[in-house]
Amino acid sequence: MAPPAMENQITNGDEITTKYKLTIVGSGNWGSVASKLIASNTLKLNSFHDEVRMWVFEETLPTGEKLTDVINNTNENVKYLPGIKLGKNVVADPDLEHAVKDADMLVFVTPHQFMEGICKRLVGKIKGDVQAISLIKGMEVKAEGPCMISTLISKQLGINCCVLMGANIANEIAVEKFSEATVGYREDKDVAQRWVQLFNAPYFQVSAVQDVEGVELCGTLKNVVAIAAGFVDGMDMGNNTKAAIMRIGLVEMKAFSKLMFSSVKDTTFFESCGVADLITTCLGGRNRRVAEAFARNGGKRSFDELEAEMLQGQKLQGVSTANELYEVLSQRGWHELFPLFTTVHEICIGRLPPSAIVEYSEHPPTLVEDSA
């Protein structure tokens, strides 16, 4: 990774210490927890500037105050992470271009549907040698096929982009309950190490694997399986059924990832970003919770309505990802290969009832051959 520009270098006797400036693009539930983790580390680690800038999609609170002002006055994101201090070195900034202009390292953590617009606004507005990481679980679908969010960032901004995914329900990490995460990187191990250093904490153990696509697809696809798990809960079908849905989901996640990118490694599915994230999301995530409510209402209330009522501004990723995935499966004629992914979308749009989540899997018993 290229060292930061001269103005970020501090001379200490004969030693020159490079200081990387950090900006976080996004300030939702996970974005705020990421700020807390990073802000605690930049105070401890010499190679980073203390200040962490956080871009906030500005909104006016019911009190009439601006969210940014409240964060800067109270050090708390009262809307998306109430009750948690972010660190006094976190500065909320409602001006996207201003927030990124001096950054050497950019952390992207918004709901995936906003990233295309954000990237367009950032073209020509960031420094040339910036390193980025995406914590975003989702993808875009273009005429030429699916585009992972890290690829969108890399292509539109001309910068390298790692990813960080894992079994990471933000509210649990906010109160420092132990968890793990996985950084996915392409080539530069030193850059990956820098990201690991920046996020790692005794209660947040981060490791790095050379498999950006595998890590990012795990984080993206598990949200669709979480919707299926929520349907199972909403119909009170029990733990065995939910475990079956999780297993089938994992098989489809792996098969889809490998069809898309032959470079995806089997071992990635055993990292925090793989099976661990699938389990936590299907047990305690927002996608699961809202899908449960959808099924309990017999599919009569839309996901949009339930999301607005239950999440107060937080965004689901699973429903739109199921839709995007369906588009890819249609483009390639792959519906029969991915019955769970296909059925989740058809239930979400009301074409099938929630009970279809198990009906599709009534196929003849199979003998699994050992490929080892």
Ligand X SMILES: O=P(O)(O)OC[C@H](O)CO
Mark the binding-site residues for substrate, compressed into ranges: 137, 286-287
Instruction: Say which residue the tokens 């060292």 belong to.
Output: 3
Minimal distance, residue 129 CB to ligand X, in Å: 30
| 288 lies in the site for ligand NAD, by CB under 6 A | no
Angle 264-151-201 from CA coordinates, rounded to 5°:
75
Per-residue binder mask for ligand NAD (CB under 6 A), 337-356, x = binder = --------------------
CB atoms under 10 Å from CB of 11, counted, come to: 8
| 315 lies in the site for ligand NAD, by CB under 6 A | yes
CA distance 139 to 262: 18
Known catalytic residue at 222: yes
182, 287, 342, 343: which one contacts ligand X (CB under 6 A)? 287
**Residues near ligand NAD (CB under 6 A), total:** 23
71, 109, 122, 278: which one contacts ligand NAD (CB under 6 A)? 109
| 280 lies in the site for ligand X, by CB under 6 A | yes
Q: What share of the chain is helix, strand, coil (3-state, %, to 5)?
A: 50, 15, 35
Range 132-151, binding ligand X (CB under 6 A)? 137
- Give alpha helix (H) positions in 175-235: 189-199, 212-234
CA distance 321 to 219: 11
Q: Which residues line the annotated binding site for NAD(+)?
A: 26-31, 57, 114, 170, 286, 315, 317
Q: Return the SS3 of 168.
A: coil
40, 72, 314, 323: which one contacts ligand NAD (CB under 6 A)? 314
Q: Which residues line the annotated binding site?
A: 26-31, 57, 114, 137, 170, 286-287, 315, 317
CA distance 248 to 45: 43
| 76 lies in the site for ligand NAD, by CB under 6 A | no
| 112 lies in the site for ligand X, by CB under 6 A | no
CA distance 75 to 35: 11
With beta carbons less than 8 A apart as the criterion, state whether 111 and 28 touch: yes
- CB under 8 Å to 114, separation ≥6 — which residues? 57
285, 293, 338, 344: which one contacts ligand X (CB under 6 A)? 285
136, 250, 276, 347: which one contacts ligand NAD (CB under 6 A)? 136
The conformational region for residue 83 under phi > 0 = left, psi -120 to 50 = alpha, else beta, is left
| 226 lies in the site for ligand X, by CB under 6 A | yes
Contact window for ligand X (CB under 6 A) among 121-129, 163-171, 300-308, 324-332: 163-171
Instruction: Say which residue the tokens 């989540």 belong to.
Output: 357
Closer by beta carbon to ligand X, 167 or else 209: 167
CA distance 105 to 192: 12
Q: Catalog residues that contact ligand X under the rule CB under 6 A.
A: 137, 167-169, 223, 226, 277, 280-281, 285-287, 317
Catalytic (active-site) positions: 222
Q: Catalog residues that contact ligand NAD under the rule CB under 6 A.
A: 26-31, 57, 80, 109-112, 114, 135-138, 168-170, 314-315, 317
